[in-house]
Chain A
Amino acid sequence: MDDLSLMVLDLSENGLNADADFIEIIVEEDDKFLRFSIRDNGFGMNEETLKKATNPFFSTRKTRSIGLGLSFVKETALSCGGEFSIHSIPFVGTTVNFSFQKDHIDTPPFGDMSQTLITILTHANIKDFHYHHQTTKEEFDFKLSEVIHMLKGVDYRQSEILSWLHEYVKQQLDKIRGGVK
């Protein structure tokens, strides 16, 4: 997992696998930190499962008992001067918060977040999706409901629209982040 946008995708997949149809990603950055929050409305975890969730040798999956996503993000964040926490309520959803110290030498690059967004949108279960990105000076908001509204009945899951959305998000993020990779 080479960059932060891939970690965000990986953790969003956890929500989608827990039958979520809504994902919200919030990114806040200042001079020192990059903070991420990923919230889903999936079936969540009880306290017992939650305690084990960041253990790489635990997984609720039946095929294998290894679960690398959460444990990897947690270890990486903590070793890069950041924090990690996870909250979950059964049948309500799960929120994962983590941060990275921007000038820490081991902090991975930000990566192509626009690809992550479009990838989430192509999941068959997604009904609503929010992305909010806040820098010290600017912000960018993306709401799937607005896209659906603009398209008035035309399915956004076709390649020409997904390509367009990808370019659009990329431009907006480059603008507010000043092209920082």
Chain B
Amino acid sequence: MKSLEDLKKLRDESLKNMNMRYQKGGTRIQVGMGTCGIAAGARTVMHKFIEEINDLHLKNITVTQVGCMGECAFEPLVEIIDPDGTSTIYCLVTDRIASEIVEEHLIGGVRLDRYLLSAVKR
């Protein structure tokens, strides 16, 4: 059973291999968490990202939730903001697509055109 005290250990380890890695200039993953997003499964998709990033020890990536992103029919929507500021919006994201985004986009640096909101919406 975990206790909140254990967080101190995690903190010390985190500091050891951190080397200021959480500075600005990292990648941001924003998941739309409006009623539409939540009903479409955005919460588990967000947790899929957190889990994968933790399991694969990816550095300098922050996962945050934002409100309704305005395209309710295409939720869950996930926006990836690369360190250079480039924004990519993926739509109808499932757990499986989230894993693909982590592997191809975040690790491989390749945009997954078939899941783009701009491509699917047409």
A residues contacting B by CB (< 8 A) are 1, 6, 9-10, 13, 16-17, 61, 63-64, 68-69, 72, 115-116, 118-119, 122-124, 146-147, 150-152, 154-155, 157-164, 166-168, 171, 175
A1 to B2, CA, bound (A): 30
- Complex partner residue of B62 from A119, A123, A158, CB under 8 angstroms: A158
Asked if B1 contacts A171 (CB within 8 A), the reply is yes
Q: Does B4 contact A (CB under 8 A)?
A: yes
Residue among A16, A119, A146, A171 with the highest chain B CB neighbour number at 10 A: A119
Instruction: Count residues of B near A (Cβ-Cβ below 8 Å).
Output: 38
Q: A160-B14, A160-B54 given. 7 additional CB < 8 A pairs?
A: A1-B38, A6-B43, A13-B35, A68-B35, A115-B43, A154-B15, A155-B22
**Chain B window 1-32, contacts with chain A (Cβ cutoff 8 Å), 1 for yes, 0 for no:** 11011111011001100100010000000000
Tell me, in angstroms, the Cα distance from A150 to B11 when the chains sit together. Answer: 8
Structural contact, A158 and B5, CB atoms closer than 8 A: no
Q: Contacts A122-B64, A123-B65 known; A164 to B33 CB distance under 8 Å?
A: no
A-B contact pairs, 5 of them (CB 8 A): A13-B67, A118-B50, A123-B66, A151-B11, A159-B58
Kindly identify which residue among A9, A17, A163 contacts B67, using a CB–CB cutoff of 8 Å: A17
